[in-house]
Structure 1
Amino acid sequence: MNQWKAYYKFIKPYRKWILLTLIIGMIKFTIPLTLPMIMKYVVDDLLTSSTLSVQEQMSQLVLILGGTLILFIIVRGPVEYFRQYFAQLITSRILFDLRNKLYAHLQKLSLRYYQNTKVGEAISRFINDVEQTKNIVEVGMMNIWLDMFTLLIVLGVMIYLNPMLALVSIAILPLYAIAVKILYKRLKQLSKDRSQALAGIQSYLHERIQGISVIRSFTLEKYDQQQFEGINGNFLNKAMAQTRWNAMTFAVINTLTDIAPILVIGYGGYRVIQGDLTLGTFVAFFGYLDRLYAPLRRLINSSTTLTQASASLDRVMELMNESYDIVDSPNAKTLEGPAKHIRFDHVYFKYNDQEDWILNDINLEIMAGETVAFVGMSGGGKSSLISLIPRFYDIQEGSLQVNGFDVRDLTQDSLRRSIGMVLQDNFLFSGSVQDNILLGNPHADNKEVIAAAIAANAHEFIMNLPNGYDTEIGERGVKLSGGQKQRLAIARVFLKNPDILILDEATSALDLESEHLIQQSLQDLSSNRTTLIVAHRLSTITHADVIVVLENGSITESGNHQHLIELGGSYARLYNVQNLDT
Structure 2
Amino acid sequence: MSGARPTPGGANATGAAAPGGPAPAAPAAPVRPGGPRGHGPMGMGAGMPVQRSLDFRGSLRRLLTVLRPERGRLVAVLVLGALSVAAAVAGPKLLGDATNVIFEGVVSRGLADVVPAGASQREAVDALRAAGQDQLADMVAGMTGVVPGRGVDVERLGDILLVVLVVYVAAFVLGWLQGRLTARAVQATVLRMRAHVEEKLARLPLSYYDRQPRGELLSRVTNDIDNVAQTMQQTLSQLVTSVLTVVGVLGMMFWLSPLLAVVALVTVPLSVVVAGAIAKRSQPQFVRQWASTGQLNAHIEEMFTGHALVTVFGRQRQAARTFAERNDELFESSFRAQFISGIIQPALGFLSNLNYLVIAVVGGLRVASGTMTLGEVQAFIQYSRQFTQPLTQIASMANLLQSGVASAERVFELLDAEEQEPDPVAPARLPRPVRGRVAFEHVSFRYEADTPLIEDLSVVAEPGQTVAIVGPTGAGKTTLVNLVMRFYEVGSGRITLDGVDTRTLTRDELRGQIGMVLQDTWLFGGTVAENIAYGVDHATSEQVVEAAVATHVDRFVRTLPEGYDTVLDDEGGSVSAGEKQLLTIARAFLADPAILILDEATSSVDTRTEVLVQQAMSTLRSGRTSFVIAHRLSTIRDADVILVMEHGRIVEKGSHDELLAAEGAYARLYASQFAAATAPVD
Residue in structure 1 matched with residue 71 of structure 2 by the alignment: 15
Cα offsets for 1:539-561 (capped at 9, x unmatched): 32222221111122111111222
- Helix, strand or coil for the counterpart of 1:343? strand
Cα offsets for 1:326-361 (capped at 9, x unmatched): 43244443445325111111112222235x222232
Superposed, 1:362-381 pairs within 5 Å as 362-381=457-476
In 2, the alpha carbon distance for the partners of 1:498 and 1:126 equals 33
Which one is further off, 504-513 or 103-112? 103-112
Residue in structure 1 matched with residue 252 of structure 2 by the alignment: 157
Cα offsets for 1:473-492 (capped at 9, x unmatched): 22322332121011111111
- The one-letter amino acid paired with 1:350 is R
In 2, the alpha carbon distance for the partners of 1:37 and 1:539 equals 92
Cα offsets for 1:80-136 (capped at 9, x unmatched): 332222211211111111111102211222221112111111111111211222356
- Is structure 2 residue 541 aligned with structure 1 residue 485? no
Q: Measure how far apart 1:79 and its partner are.
A: 2.6
Q: Measure how far apart 1:576 and its partner are.
A: 4.1
Residue in structure 1 matched with residue 164 of structure 2 by the alignment: 68
In 1, the alpha carbon distance for the partners of 2:577 and 2:148 equals 94
Superposed, 1:278-289 pairs within 5 Å as 278-289=373-384
In 2, the alpha carbon distance for the partners of 1:558 and 1:246 equals 67
- The one-letter amino acid paired with 1:444 is A
Residue in structure 2 matched with residue 395 of structure 1 by the alignment: 490
Cα offsets for 1:511-553 (capped at 9, x unmatched): 1111111212111111122111112222322222211111221
Residue in structure 2 matched with residue 409 of structure 1 by the alignment: 504
Asked if the contact 1:139–1:306 (Cα under 8 Å) also holds between the matched residues in 2, the reply is: no
In 2, the alpha carbon distance for the partners of 1:378 and 1:72 equals 75
- Is structure 2 residue 114 aligned with structure 1 residue 40? no
- Is structure 2 residue 212 aligned with structure 1 residue 117? yes
Which one is further off, 529-538 or 51-60? 51-60
Higher relative contact order (CA 8 A, sep 6+): 2
- Helix, strand or coil for the counterpart of 2:440? strand
Asked if the contact 2:589–2:620 (Cα under 8 Å) also holds between the matched residues in 1, the reply is: yes
Q: Measure how far apart 1:236 and its partner are.
A: 0.8
- The one-letter amino acid paired with 2:449 is D
Cα 1:157/1:6, change in 2 over 3 Å: closer
Cα 1:137/1:476, change in 2 over 3 Å: same
User: What RMSD over aligned residues (CA atoms) do the two structures have, in Å?
Assistant: 2.3
Residue in structure 2 matched with residue 556 of structure 1 by the alignment: 651
Residue in structure 2 matched with residue 25 of structure 1 by the alignment: 81
- Out of 584, 601, 608, the residue aligned to residue 506 of structure 1 is 601
Residue in structure 2 matched with residue 51 of structure 1 by the alignment: 147
Which one is further off, 515-524 or 55-64? 55-64
- Out of 344, 351, 369, the residue aligned to residue 256 of structure 1 is 351
Cα 1:55/1:251, change in 2 over 3 Å: closer
Asked if the contact 2:283–2:337 (Cα under 8 Å) also holds between the matched residues in 1, the reply is: no
Cα 1:9/1:462, change in 2 over 3 Å: farther
- Is structure 2 residue 292 aligned with structure 1 residue 197? yes
In 1, the alpha carbon distance for the partners of 2:246 and 2:63 equals 28
- The one-letter amino acid paired with 1:265 is A
Asked if the contact 2:514–2:597 (Cα under 8 Å) also holds between the matched residues in 1, the reply is: yes
Q: Measure how far apart 1:154 and its partner are.
A: 0.9
Residue in structure 1 matched with residue 545 of structure 2 by the alignment: 450
- Helix, strand or coil for the counterpart of 2:631? coil
With normalisation by structure 1, the TM-score equals 0.94
In 1, the alpha carbon distance for the partners of 2:372 and 2:435 equals 92
Asked if the contact 2:246–2:391 (Cα under 8 Å) also holds between the matched residues in 1, the reply is: yes
- Percent of aligned pairs with the same residue? 30
Asked if the contact 2:341–2:396 (Cα under 8 Å) also holds between the matched residues in 1, the reply is: no
Residue in structure 2 matched with residue 309 of structure 1 by the alignment: 404
Cα offsets for 1:240-288 (capped at 9, x unmatched): 1112312333332222222211111121112112222111111111111
- Is structure 2 residue 520 aligned with structure 1 residue 464? no
Asked if the contact 2:282–2:336 (Cα under 8 Å) also holds between the matched residues in 1, the reply is: no
In 1, the alpha carbon distance for the partners of 2:192 and 2:343 equals 37
- Out of 586, 589, 608, the residue aligned to residue 494 of structure 1 is 589
- The one-letter amino acid paired with 1:61 is L
Cα offsets for 1:128-161 (capped at 9, x unmatched): 2112223564455443232111111111111111
Q: Measure how far apart 1:54 and its partner are.
A: 6.5
In 2, the alpha carbon distance for the partners of 1:482 and 1:79 equals 60
Cα offsets for 1:169-214 (capped at 9, x unmatched): 1111111222233222232221111011111111111111111112
Asked if the contact 1:350–1:357 (Cα under 8 Å) also holds between the matched residues in 2, the reply is: yes
- The one-letter amino acid paired with 1:475 is D
Cα 1:67/1:570, change in 2 over 3 Å: same
Q: Measure how far apart 1:430 and its partner are.
A: 2.8
- Helix, strand or coil for the counterpart of 1:547? strand
In 2, the alpha carbon distance for the partners of 1:186 and 1:331 equals 54
- Is structure 2 residue 212 aligned with structure 1 residue 131? no
- Out of 329, 342, 345, the residue aligned to residue 438 of structure 2 is 342
- Helix, strand or coil for the counterpart of 2:322? helix
- Helix, strand or coil for the counterpart of 1:466? coil
Asked if the contact 1:345–1:399 (Cα under 8 Å) also holds between the matched residues in 2, the reply is: yes
- Helix, strand or coil for the counterpart of 2:442? strand
- Out of 388, 391, 408, the residue aligned to residue 296 of structure 1 is 391
Residue in structure 1 matched with residue 189 of structure 2 by the alignment: 94
Asked if the contact 2:81–2:240 (Cα under 8 Å) also holds between the matched residues in 1, the reply is: no
**What are structure 1's unaligned runs of at least 5 residues?**
none
In 2, the alpha carbon distance for the partners of 1:353 and 1:140 equals 47
Asked if the contact 1:505–1:534 (Cα under 8 Å) also holds between the matched residues in 2, the reply is: yes
Cα offsets for 1:353-399 (capped at 9, x unmatched): 35x22223211011122211112222222111111101111121221
- Helix, strand or coil for the counterpart of 2:567? coil
Cα 1:35/1:3, change in 2 over 3 Å: closer
In 2, the alpha carbon distance for the partners of 1:392 and 1:297 equals 53
Asked if the contact 1:187–1:308 (Cα under 8 Å) also holds between the matched residues in 2, the reply is: no
In 1, the alpha carbon distance for the partners of 2:209 and 2:150 equals 81
In 1, the alpha carbon distance for the partners of 2:258 and 2:58 equals 43
Asked if the contact 2:88–2:167 (Cα under 8 Å) also holds between the matched residues in 1, the reply is: no
- Out of 291, 296, 314, the residue aligned to residue 219 of structure 1 is 314
In 2, the alpha carbon distance for the partners of 1:147 and 1:565 equals 82
- Out of 312, 331, 348, the residue aligned to residue 236 of structure 1 is 331
In 2, the alpha carbon distance for the partners of 1:318 and 1:208 equals 26
Asked if the contact 1:371–1:526 (Cα under 8 Å) also holds between the matched residues in 2, the reply is: yes
Q: Measure how far apart 1:2 and its partner are.
A: 5.7
Alignment: residue pair count? 579
- Is structure 2 residue 259 aligned with structure 1 residue 168? no
**What are structure 2's unaligned runs of at least 5 residues?**
1-56, 105-144, 677-682
- The one-letter amino acid paired with 2:67 is I
Cα 1:63/1:406, change in 2 over 3 Å: same
In 2, the alpha carbon distance for the partners of 1:262 and 1:334 equals 81
Which one is further off, 146-155 or 28-37? 28-37
Cα 1:551/1:270, change in 2 over 3 Å: same
In 2, the alpha carbon distance for the partners of 1:52 and 1:97 equals 69
- The one-letter amino acid paired with 2:334 is A
